[in-house]
Amino acid sequence: MGKFFATQTKLFDALFTAVYTAKSNKSIYILQGGSSSSKTYSICQLLIYHCITYPRTEVAIIGESLGSLKIGALSDMLSSVANSDVIKKHIKRDNIFTNSAEGLVVDFYNGSKIIFRGVGSPSQSGHADAKSSQKSKAGKRDILFINEANGIAEVVANELILRTRQLVFIDFNANMPFWAHYKYHKKYIAASDLNEEQKQQRYGFVDDKVQWIYSNYTHNQYCPDEIIQQLKEYKHTNPMRYRVYTLGQTGNADDYKLWLYAFNQLQHVKQ
């Protein structure tokens, strides 16, 4: 792997081992983690590796919008390519991306391609609009990456996953449980309204096909000291953010709403 990337985090090594080295039939990899743990960066690196190693691989990287992808997965992809002359030789265009009706596309000389697409966010009711649902039904792919998945409606995610032939990657900061937890995590399945037979079926699917990978800043040995210090300070200033963004754990709806609506200009803005 060293020939592809100048740097690889501990999280990348764990993900690579899970996907390519561990003997399992897992097809859904869920990366829940804190801020600066390298979740998105590591997945992007792995997708580049896969596209170069396995010709004619089709990858879709899905976000709430192209705007959100540009400051997340798209930025990380650009960084990975810019830092490796080896990778650049495998990509057709000097400017890397081309615009198409599909979205932003990275074309590899061996026929592989990575498409970045925004599909819209869920409404306040939690449902996707008709346009988002239709976008999710457009095309099939070998590998799917749903970036910041808690910004994507469940019905859209279901359609995308259904139309994926090989591997699914999902990442997020878990400020509260959402569809990924309710569908793929045993704790939340156990607490659901499913009957016992349905629960057992879900447990079996999770055991066979799903792997959760948890991370925080300690899994990124390149995380800057100033970022680490900021994350540690949340322990004293904001317990909810400390749990979610520092430790990489799951928050809850009540704590999130309390944090979200607790802003007070007199208390929180320097006068």
| pTM given for the model | 0.89
How much is the pLDDT for 257? Answer: 55
- Residue 153 burial by Cβ neighbours in a 10 Å radius (0-12, 13-18, 19+): buried
Residue type, 82: A
Q: At 43, list the tokens.
A: 């997945």
Q: In the prediction, which pLDDT does 158 show?
A: 97
**Strands lying side by side in the sheet with 97-100:** 97-100, 103-107, 113-118, 58-63, 141-146, 164-172, 28-33, 210-215
Per-residue confidence in pLDDT tens, the chain, 271 aa = 667 898 999 999 999 999 998 888 999 999 999 999 999 999 999 999 999 999 999 999 999 998 899 889 999 998 998 889 999 999 997 667 777 777 899 999 999 999 999 998 665 435 555 455 555 555 799 999 999 999 999 999 999 999 999 999 999 999 999 999 999 999 999 999 999 999 999 999 999 999 999 999 999 999 999 999 999 999 999 999 999 999 999 998 776 555 455 555 555 545 4
Centroid of chain to Cα 70: 14
| pLDDT (0 to 100) of residue 99 | 74
CA-based nearest residue to 141, from 118, 168, 103: 168
Please provide the DSSP assignment of 236-249 as one string.
HH-HHHIIIIIS--
Cβ neighbour number for residue 171 with a 10 Å cutoff: 25
Task: List all residues 6 or more positions away from 229 whose beta carbon is below 8 Å from its beta carbon.
Answer: none
